[in-house]
Amino acid sequence: MKSYTVKKSAVPVALDAAWDSEMWANANIAKVDFAFAQNSDHTPDVQLKMLHDGERICGLYQVKDQYVIARAIKDQDMVCRDSCVEFFVKPAGADCYFNLEMNCGGTFLLYRCVNLFQKDYIEIPDEDMQKIERFHTLPKNITEEITEPVTWYLGFAMNMDFFAKYAGSKKPLSGQVWSANFTKCADHCSHPTWLSWMPLTKCSFHMPDQFGELVFE
């Protein structure tokens, strides 16, 4: 099993700080590079840095990509069809997991899942979706595919109050061990891709039994 350590920041994390900035300099890098057989001949270079500041779990994706689209209009639309990165996470002791799916334009989908395939899940309501901080470098909507190479960044921050409400999580966050996976997809572009941090046994990201370890410093 892979393990990723989320280092603790001494100051509140700034999502819009540059990838190579002092803010993110000490964060570990997770490479989302396990490619499934269904992939096209385009494989983007996808990396993730994560930090926490005791109250917020923060991530910043760097994606060196091509054939990029962002057609979802609003939160809870099917952003996985777009150029999309995802954070799957299961808090310690929880009976559920969460799939934070984020297209390159900063439109999000998020469910609280027990078993997606048995339709045992709920959509997170808009009032709580709006509390998730987000940062993105591409426009919100890209209807005409960007066919040339482009590097884009997507940042997110989720407050511990969210996990307390929906999973009963407790503070302090430091020292806790959760489980997680980091993924990249683009279902409906001209060159579809599906990538995962964890080497999953099939091309299905909703597999909490195959998540890796997420350790909070």
Longest CA span, the chain:
45
Angle at 211 between CA 210 and CA 213, to 5 degrees: 130
pLDDT at 95: 97
pLDDT tens per residue across span 136-170: 999 999 999 999 999 999 999 999 999 999 999 99
The residues, any chain, with a CB within 8 Å of residue 92's CB and separated by 6 or more, are 169, 176, 177, 178
Provide the pLDDT for residue 15.
Answer: 97
Q: Rg (Cα) of the chain, in Å, rounded?
A: 16
Q: What is the pLDDT of residue 39?
A: 95
What is the span of the domain harbouring residue 103?
Answer: 3-216
Q: Which residues pair with 61 in a beta bridge?
A: 48, 154
Q: Give me the helices (H) in 74-187, please.
A: 126-129, 160-167
Beta strand pairing call for 84-90 and 56-65: unpaired
The domain total for the chain is 1
Per-residue pLDDT tens over the stretch 191-213: 999 999 999 999 999 999 999 99
Kindly report, residue by residue over 22-77, the tens digit of the pLDDT. Answer: 999 999 999 999 999 999 999 999 999 999 999 999 999 999 999 999 999 999 99
Residue 178 neighbours by CB under 8 Å, 6+ apart:
89, 90, 91, 92, 213, 214, 216
Which of the four pLDDT bands, split at 50, 70 and 90, describes residue 12?
Answer: very high
Tell me what pLDDT residue 148 has: 98
What's the CATH number where 46 sits? 2.60.40.1190
